[in-house]
Chain A
């Protein structure tokens, strides 16, 4: 006989028992020991089907294959760039993954990406040693020019994007800004005027502050309509 020991949207703490019995499956930020499921992080509990998961309230970004992130060039190496991603582990962007064009051996890599430049990249591989491989060859991935970059908690990124990107499209539509959210918490905003960029930034900060509330998309819509 299996049962859930906490309510939906309860705040749970690490080590708290979420479910008993083998009918439920451990999801994000949870683990199974014997026949019980425990929370691994401080966060909100939710159950989708048979999967029990915890949405963490805070914490560092954990790199995952396929994530689109915004990183900063930290170092130039023989065969590529070392990119800082806001994680504890270094990421590599190889020359062959940086551009669709052929880059000659003799070329000065700092002409393509200099130290300090920001890039939008996708994680292609995370090894067991947590070394990260990146690519910049997919559509929409490139070096960032102009606009502004802000940093938010990576745990709030799903909220900023919203269900089926609903939240982010409201911001884009209302402010006319181009907004790219990296899964690691870096957000790039570029608009036609600094006032609009400011409004987009304020909206994102508001989402970050009120991420646990319901009906947030409507509130943001109201905020931006003012």
Chain B
């Protein structure tokens, strides 16, 4: 809506937002439900304001890649369902879904969040592979941050299934107490630049009005593991510094929210 876009830009210059929030304020409620799926090894549903995202973790035993015979692997796939927004269609993933999956994947992978070597069962023959699915239930903006939270919560709730010691087949109906070897917990925060001002947790209308955005994944020691810049507008180095600072601060906030729900 062009009228709203103009208004959003005008308000941003004064440090205000269309829905009356502060520039750096997340929508409430932020809530998480864990283990929502029986068939997944780990799953979570995250609600961020009106945005709802589900993530599921599935474990399987596969042959490791030839260049990393002593390591397992991770795959992330995102699906933006037509029920979550009128802009999405069923069929092969579009550019938004691909970017979402890759940004979340990079945050987890480059932080070395999962100890891949511990996933290996027999070097060169058998290792655990972690495949994560992200499904949007309702897109009311800020899918990046919501998906990052959902994936991390799902990973934290993951339990390995029982493996038959003789045949080596997996009994997915029973779970052990063994958790995924998580070394770090990267949380991604996306900072948007609208009319020269920085803000977080955009509404769908704000997502149509931004010039540039930067997704920053960081762990609890504020070590940055991945960044992704989006949008057509340029960013100065000062702006990037400000965005990273804001992302680290908000990452800490989201980590606090996550810890309320995940033990």
Contact = CB atoms under 8 A, between A and B. Distances in A.
Interface of A: 72, 116-118, 144-149, 188, 194-195, 198
A146 B2 contact: no
Given A146-B7, A148-B7, A194 B1 contact: no
A181 to B, nearest CB: 15
Contact of B3 (A147, A194, A195, A198): A147
A149 B4 contact: yes
Contacts of B20: 194-195, 198
Contact of B2 (A116, A147, A188): A116
A149 B3 contact: yes
B2 A148 contact: no
Given A116-B2, A118-B1, A147 B7 contact: yes
12 contacts: A72-B1, A116-B2, A118-B1, A146-B6, A146-B10, A147-B7, A148-B3, A149-B1, A149-B3, A188-B3, A194-B20, A198-B18
Name which of A147, A194, A195 has the most chain B CB atoms within 10 A of its CB: A194
Contacts of A117: 2
Contacts of B16: 194
Q: Chain B, interface size: which category?
A: 10 to 19
B19 interface: yes
Contacts of A195: 20
B11 interface: yes
Interface string B4-22: 1011001100001111100
Name which of B1, B6, B10, B17 has the most chain A CB atoms within 10 A of its CB: B1
A58 B11 CA distance: 33
Contacts of A72: 1-2
A79 B98 CA distance: 42
Interface in B1-48: 1-4, 6-7, 10-11, 16-20
Contacts of A148: 3-4, 7, 18
Nearest to B20: A198
A194 B6 contact: no
Contacts of B10: 146
B112 to A, nearest CB: 44
A12 to B, nearest CB: 28
Contacts of A188: 3
A218 to B, nearest CB: 24
Given A194-B16, A194-B20, A198-B20, A146 B3 contact: yes
B22 to A, nearest CB: 13
Contacts of B2: 72, 116-118
A118 B18 contact: no
A148 to B, nearest CB: 5
A188 B7 CA distance: 12
A-B complex: 7 closest residue pairs judged by Cβ atoms:
A116-B2, A198-B20, A149-B3, A194-B16, A148-B4, A118-B3, A148-B7
A38 to B, nearest CB: 32
A111 B1 CA distance: 19
Interface in B185-227: none
Nearest to B21: A198
Nearest to A118: B3
Given A72-B1, A146-B6, A194-B11, 20 more contacts: A72-B2, A116-B2, A117-B2, A118-B1, A118-B3, A144-B3, A145-B3, A146-B7, A147-B3, A148-B3, A149-B1, A149-B3, A149-B4, A188-B3, A194-B16, A194-B17, A194-B18, A194-B20, A195-B20, A198-B19
